[in-house]
Structure 1
Amino acid sequence: MNYWRILIHPRLTRMKSENNTPKACRPQNRMSCTQDVVKTPTSIVFSNKYNKFMGFTLEERQRLNIHGLLPVCVRSPQDQMYVFESNFRSINTNIGKYQYLRIMRQSFERLYFKFVSEHVTEVLPIIYTPTVGMACMVYGMLYRGMSGVYITKYDRGHMVDVLKNWPDSKNVKAVCVTDGQRILGLGDLGANGMGICVGKMELYTALGGISPAKCLPVCLDIGTTNKNLRDDPMYIGLREDRITGKEYEDFVEEFIQSALKAFGCQTLIHFEDFATPNAFKFLEKYQDQCCYFNDDIQGTAAVGLAGLLGIQRITKIELQDHVILFCGAGSAMMGLTALLKKELQSRGLSDEELTKNLYVYDAKGLITKSSQEIPGNIADFAKDMPPIKSLEEVVEKIKPSIIMGATSAAGLFTEKILRTMAASHERPGVFAFSNPTNKAECTAEQAYKFTDGRAIYSAGSPFPPVEFNGKRLTPGQANNCFAFPGIVLGVMTALAVTVPDEVYLVTAHTLSNVPSKEDLASGKIYPNIACAKDVALEIAVNVCQYLFDNDLAQLTPVPDDIREYILKNEYQLDFSSSTTETWDYPEMKPNPKPNPTKEQKQK
C-alpha cells in the first residue's frame, strides 16, 4: 500500500518531507526570493570613495544590501561632523591627531575633506606645517596604506607602467612629486617625503575644490644620504645612498616624460621639496616645456611678495623705497627676489634702481661683489661694499625697514636686530618664514616685545596671539596655502599650456588685496587661515582670466562667467543619494501576438 501511494501520489510524500523541514528553510513565495537580486558589492559601497558610514539612509541600506551591517542610527552630516570633531579634539598630541586623520582619510574620503574644509584653522597645522614635518620624520611608523606612487631607481624603463598602476590613473590631472631631499628645514628624508606631497594635494581638494581623483602624490625614491634613516628598521624607502649627477637628471627627465605619457600633456606637474640647485635647474628646464610649477620657489615667492605689498599698503611707502634685507639664499629667497625684481620692473624701474635697496645675507655673510660662489640670480643684488659677516652688523649698517628670513636658523633675528630696526622705522616688517615653528628666525612674542609692539610680523608657521601693553596682537601667517591651491585650481581649470611668472604676480596682488582696511590698521597683511578657501577661489578666477587673456589656455569655449564655471565644477563635499533615481512610466501596450505565415502554420 505504501509503495502504491508513493507511485500514485508523490505529492503526499513531498508534503510529509516539507512538514519536517524547519520553517525558515522552506521555499518562500517568489516575491521574497533573493536568488535573482543583483547586489552591489559591499566592498564598493564601503570603499573610501563612496562610504557614508552611518549617513546611509535606511532605504539606501536596504537597496544597497547593507541593512544590518550598520547600527540602526542614521546620522545627519552635522552629526557626522560632530563625531569627527569630538574624536579629533580628544587626542592630546599633534602626531596623534595626524594618525587619526590618516585613518579617516583612508576610510571616509568625502567626510574627511568636508571636515578639513570646515575646520581649516584647526586641521591645517596638522596635515600641513608644522606637524607634517614631524610626521615625515617618523613616516614609516605612521604609514597606513596606499596614499601615492613610489618610483625607485630600479623602475627605469617602466615608469609609465608604475604610474598606471594607480587605481584611478585614468582621472589623474595633477601630480605632486618630491625626491625627499629637502623636506622643510629637516634635510634629506628620502621616501618619508611622501607625507609632504599627500598634505599638499589634500589642500588642493579642501581649499581648491579639486577632486581627489584628479590628484596623484608621487615620491621618487632614489635613496637617501640620511644614514639614520637607512639604519632605521621602520624606514620604508631604499636603504641606499642617493643617486646624483647625470644618472639623477636622466631619472627625473624620464619621470616627466612618463607622467605626460601616462596622464596627458595637460597634466600639471608640481615639484616639491627638491634641493635648491636641483629645484632651479628643473624649473629652468621644464617651465616652458609643460604645465610645471614649483611651490617652494614660485608659491613662496607669491606669498612673500603679497606680504611686501601689504606692508606697502600699511606704511604708504612704495616697495622700491623700502630697504629690504633677505636672509638666506635658498630656493625660497631666490624665488622671492626674482619675483620682486619682476614686480619692480613692471613699475618701470631700471635694473640699477630696483636693486639699490635690496640686500641678501647668507651663511657666509652679506652678499657683496667680492663674495665667492654666489647662487643663481642673487648675484644681481651683490653690493659694492666691504664684506660683513655678522647679521647684527649688517642691520646696523643698512638699517632695513623689512627683514625676511628663510634660513631654518632659529633665533637668527636677535633682540639687538629687532631693536635696531624699531629705532629706525615706525613700522618695521619682520618675516620669519622658516618651518616648522622651532626653526623660525624669531617668535611673534620676540618681534612684538623688542619693537614695542610696532612690528608688522608674519611667520611661515602659526604663532598664537600676543598680549602687549594691553593690546592683543595677532601675527600673520605667510602660508603657502594662500597661494598654491588657487594657482593650481586656475591652471587646471583653464587647461594651461605653461605657467609663466606673471601668474605669480597675479597671485601676489590678489592675495595682498584680501585684507581689509580694518585688518591693515591692526597690522594684519595676510587673511585668516579660515578664509583660505575663499582666497583660493579669488586667485583661481584671476589666474584663469590672465591665462585666457594671453592665449595660454586650452579650455574652449571660454566661460562667460569664470567664477560660476569653477563653482559648478568643484568637488562636492556633501553626499547626495547613493541610489539612482527612479520614475514612473505609463502602462505600456502589450506586444502584439505574432501572425504566423502560411508555411509556419503548415509546420
Structure 2
Amino acid sequence: MSFFRIFSYGYTRNTAMVKSHQNKSRDTQKSIIIRTTCTHDTIRVPVEVVLSNTYNKALAFTLEERQRLGIHGLMPACIRTDDEQMLAIETNFHSICENVGRYRYLRALRQGYERLYFQFVARNVNLVLPIIYTPTVGLACTIYGMLYRGMTGIHLTKHDRGHMKQVLSNWPMRSSIKAICATDGERILGLGDLGANGMGISVGKMELYTALAGIPPSSLLPVCLDVGTNNKSLHEDPLYIGLREERMKGEEYVSFVDEFVESVVKTFGSETLIHFEDFATPNAFMFLNRYRECYCHFNDDIQGTASVGLGGLLGIQRITKKPLEDHVILFAGAGSAIMGISYLLKQELISRGLSKREAVKNIYMYDQNGLLTTKRTDLPENIVVFAKDMKPIKSLEDLVEKVKPSIIMGATSAAGLFSEKIIRSMAKNHERPGIFAFSNPTAKAECTAEQAYNFSDGKAIYSAGSPFPPVEFNGKRLTPGQANNCFAFPGIVLGTMTVLADRMPDEIFLLAAHELAKFPSDEDIKGGRIYPQVDQAKQVALKIGIKVAEYLIENGHAKRSLDCDEIPECIAKNSYKLEYGSALAETWPYPQMKPHPKIPCPKDKPKEKK
C-alpha cells in the first residue's frame, strides 16, 4: 500500500439544475439533463508532500499519478522505469571525477529523493561504499561545513543542557525512532578532532543500516554532540558549522552525555538502540562500561571493529589450518580498535578452554613508546593484561625479528609503519603470514596491498580497512580483503532491533565474528580471501542479524515475543522497501447497495378523522 493512502480520499460535489420538459415522457426526461453550473471542490494532496524527499518518485510517477496528485505538468512528459532512473543517477555519478564531488552529488540525491538514493546505494554497494563510507567520508568530514545542505540529524550543543529532551522532540519523525548514532567528533577515523563536522560519520553509518540491513531510515536518527573542539583551525574556519569553543571536559562532559542517553530513553523509549561512534578512546571505553547494565548500546569503533578483526583472524585459521591459539599475534597500536579486537580475541581463546594467562601468552602489543612490558607505567587498564615481562623494545622491526609473529595487525594511522624489512621477516618465518593494515583512510594504511604482496613474494594474506585494488604478481591476480566494519554492525543492529533487545551483550559480537569468518566459500579461502566481497555485505548482514536475534531471544534479552523460526519473516516484514509502489490508494469493487424501503411522504399519510 502507498504512503499516500491517508491523503488520497476526496470527493467531488457537482451542482446541477435540471430542466424537465413537461410534454415529454418520463424516459425522455431522464436523458435531458442540462448542467448550467458545474463546480468542483477537489481535495488535493499538498504538492510539498508529493514532492518531498520521502515520497518523490521523480520521473517514475505514472500519468495517472501525476494527474490525480496534481503534479501533471510540473515535470517532463517522460515516464521512466526504475532501471532508467538508476541509469540516470549512475551516469551523473560517473560524470564527476573527484570523489568529494560524488559525495556532494549523493548528499543532494538523498535530500531530494530518499528511496531512489537507497535503491542506488543498495544496487551499487561496490561503487558507492568508498564514497559514503571510508575512505571518502573522512575527507568529506574535514570540509563538512562547505558540503552542508540542510537537516540531516539533531545537533545537541553543550548549551542545551537541561533541555535535551525538548531538542530531541523537535525531530519531525520522533514517534518512529528506534536507533540513534551519536558522535562527539573527537576522533574521526585517523583525522583527529573534527568537532561538529563529525555528523558526516553518524549520517554515513546510519545510511548503511538502511542500504545493507534494510532498516527504514524513518526509524534512524543521526546525532552530533557538539561539546566544542580543540581544533584551532576549525575555530578559524568561516564555514565551520559547530561551536567555536574549547571542548568540554571532566565531570561536566560526563554529565552532558549522561543527560543525553537519559533524554533518548525518555523521548524515544527504553528499547532505543544507541550507537556511539568516534569518541576518543578513554571516553569510548568509559561510556561503554558506564552504561553496560543500563541501556541498549554499543561502540562500533571498539565492538564492531572487534567483530571484523576477529573474523579476519578466524579466516587466517581457516587458510593455515593452524589453531588461533598457536599463532603469534602482534598488535601495532593501542587505541580503541586494537583494544576491542584484543579483548574479543582473548574471550575467543578463553571460550576454547584456555586460562586467561594462556590466552594472552602469544599476544604482543606495541604502541608509539614500544613494546608493552610489565615495567611500563603508562598502560591503560584495558591492555595491562597483554604486557610482557621482557626487556623494552622500541623498534617495531626489532620486535618482529624477536617474537616472529605469524600475524600482524595495525591500527595506528602511521602510514608505511609495516616496512619492507618487517614484511620480508614475516614471510621468511611463515608460509602464509597475515598482514592487516586497518588504519583509515587509505593514505593512513600501515602498508599498501602492493607492498604486502611484493615484499612477501606473494605469500601474504593481506587485508585493509579501506579498499585497495587487486595486484598482479608473477602472473597471478591477488585480491586484498577489506576488513570493513560494514560487515558487522549492520547485521548486529538488525538482529538487536528486530527483537527489541534491552542489552547488547559481548557474546553477540563474538557470534558475529564467527558468522563473518564462515561466509567466504572454500574456494575463496583457497584463493587467500578471508573476508566477503563488499557486494555481499547485504547477505552478510541478514545472516548475522538472524543469528544475533536468535541469541538474544534464547538468552532473555528480547522484548518482542518471537520464536526463532519467526525471525526471517519478521525481518522481511519490517524491511525498508527500495522500490516505489503506487502513489495512489488501492481501490476495489463494492456490491451495489440494496435500496432502502420507500418512506412514505407526509402528504401521503391518511388524514386522521376528526
TM-score if structure 1 supplies the norm length?
Answer: 0.93
The residue aligned with 1:528 is 533
Alignment check: 8 A CA contact 1:494 1:555 kept? yes
Distance 2:397 2:584 in 1: 67
1:493 maps to which of 487, 495, 498: 498
The residue aligned with 1:16 is none
The residue aligned with 1:255 is 260
Which amino acid is 2:279 matched to?
Answer: F
Which amino acid is 2:265 matched to?
Answer: L
Residues 460-479 of structure 1, C-alpha deviations (whole Å, 9 max, x = no match): 00000001111100000000
Alignment check: 8 A CA contact 1:288 1:499 kept? no
Residues 569-603 of structure 1, C-alpha deviations (whole Å, 9 max, x = no match): 210001111001112222223344545789x9999
Structure 2 counterparts to residues 146-225 of structure 1, below 5 A? 146-225=151-230
2:59 maps to which of 54, 58, 61: 54
Alignment check: 8 A CA contact 1:466 1:474 kept? yes
| Alignment pair present for 1:399 and 2:404 | yes
The residue aligned with 2:291 is 286
Structure 2 counterparts to residues 298-313 of structure 1, below 5 A? 298-313=303-318
| Alignment pair present for 1:541 and 2:531 | no
Query: Aligned with 2:556: secondary structure?
Result: coil
- Cα offset, 1:351, TM superposition: 1.2
Distance 1:568 1:410 in 2: 45
Distance 2:357 2:156 in 1: 46
The residue aligned with 1:415 is 420
- Count, aligned residues: 575
Distance 1:536 1:169 in 2: 26
Distance 1:380 1:29 in 2: 92
1:369 maps to which of 362, 366, 374: 374
- Over 3 Å counting, the alpha-carbon distance change for 1:29 and 1:358 in structure 2 is farther
Alignment check: 8 A CA contact 1:434 1:441 kept? yes
Which amino acid is 1:38 matched to?
Answer: I
Alignment check: 8 A CA contact 1:559 1:565 kept? no
- Over 3 Å counting, the alpha-carbon distance change for 1:524 and 1:107 in structure 2 is same
Which runs of no fewer than 5 residues in structure 1 stay unpaired? Answer: 1-27
Alignment check: 8 A CA contact 2:433 2:461 kept? yes
Which amino acid is 1:374 matched to?
Answer: L
Query: Aligned with 1:86: secondary structure?
Result: helix
The residue aligned with 2:444 is 439
Q: Which segment is superposed worse, 587-596 or 138-147?
A: 587-596
1:514 maps to which of 515, 519, 527: 519
Structure 2 counterparts to residues 553-572 of structure 1, below 5 A? 553-558=558-563, 560-572=565-577
The residue aligned with 1:464 is 469
The residue aligned with 1:133 is 138
The residue aligned with 1:425 is 430
- Cα offset, 1:551, TM superposition: 1.1
Distance 2:220 2:170 in 1: 14
- Cα offset, 1:558, TM superposition: 2.5
Q: Which segment is superposed worse, 375-384 or 386-395?
A: 375-384
Percent of aligned positions that are identical: 64
Which amino acid is 1:65 matched to?
Answer: G
Query: Aligned with 1:457: secondary structure?
Result: strand
The residue aligned with 2:106 is 101
Distance 2:602 2:510 in 1: 81
1:340 maps to which of 345, 368, 375: 345
Query: Aligned with 1:525: secondary structure?
Result: coil
Distance 1:602 1:521 in 2: 104
Which amino acid is 1:267 matched to?
Answer: T
Residues 206-240 of structure 1, C-alpha deviations (whole Å, 9 max, x = no match): 00000000000000001000000010000000010
Residues 430-474 of structure 1, C-alpha deviations (whole Å, 9 max, x = no match): 000000000000000000000000000000000000011111000
Query: Aligned with 2:243: secondary structure?
Result: coil
- Cα offset, 1:414, TM superposition: 0.3
Distance 2:315 2:607 in 1: 97
- Cα offset, 1:557, TM superposition: 3.4
1:69 maps to which of 74, 83, 86: 74
Distance 2:331 2:501 in 1: 32
Distance 1:396 1:478 in 2: 26
- Over 3 Å counting, the alpha-carbon distance change for 1:601 and 1:312 in structure 2 is farther
Alignment check: 8 A CA contact 1:506 1:543 kept? yes
The residue aligned with 1:25 is none
The residue aligned with 1:478 is 483
1:326 maps to which of 327, 331, 346: 331
Residues 469-517 of structure 1, C-alpha deviations (whole Å, 9 max, x = no match): 1110000000000000000000000111100000001100000000011
| Alignment pair present for 1:231 and 2:229 | no
Residues 222-269 of structure 1, C-alpha deviations (whole Å, 9 max, x = no match): 100000001000000001000100000000000000001110000000
Which amino acid is 1:312 matched to?
Answer: Q
Distance 1:208 1:334 in 2: 27
Query: Aligned with 2:85: secondary structure?
Result: helix
The residue aligned with 2:119 is 114
Query: Aligned with 1:101: secondary structure?
Result: helix
Q: Which segment is superposed worse, 565-574 or 493-502?
A: 565-574
- Over 3 Å counting, the alpha-carbon distance change for 1:185 and 1:582 in structure 2 is same
Distance 1:250 1:466 in 2: 50
The residue aligned with 1:448 is 453
Distance 2:564 2:388 in 1: 49
Alignment check: 8 A CA contact 1:175 1:267 kept? yes
Query: Aligned with 1:238: secondary structure?
Result: coil
Which amino acid is 1:308 matched to?
Answer: L
Which amino acid is 1:578 matched to?
Answer: A
Distance 1:346 1:29 in 2: 85
Distance 1:251 1:594 in 2: 73
Query: Aligned with 2:225: secondary structure?
Result: strand
Which amino acid is 2:95 matched to?
Answer: S
Which amino acid is 1:142 matched to?
Answer: L
The residue aligned with 2:557 is 552
Which amino acid is 1:273 matched to?
Answer: D
- Over 3 Å counting, the alpha-carbon distance change for 1:51 and 1:285 in structure 2 is same
Alignment check: 8 A CA contact 1:334 1:376 kept? no
- Cα offset, 1:564, TM superposition: 2.7
Which amino acid is 2:269 matched to?
Answer: G
- Cα offset, 1:291, TM superposition: 0.6
- Cα offset, 1:567, TM superposition: 1.8
Query: Aligned with 1:561: secondary structure?
Result: helix
The residue aligned with 2:7 is none
Residues 76-126 of structure 1, C-alpha deviations (whole Å, 9 max, x = no match): 001000001110011000000000000000000000000000000000000
- Cα offset, 1:568, TM superposition: 2.4
Query: Aligned with 1:560: secondary structure?
Result: helix
Distance 2:324 2:36 in 1: 82
Alignment check: 8 A CA contact 1:54 1:70 kept? yes
The residue aligned with 2:590 is 585
TM-score if structure 2 supplies the norm length?
Answer: 0.92
Query: Aligned with 1:393: secondary structure?
Result: helix
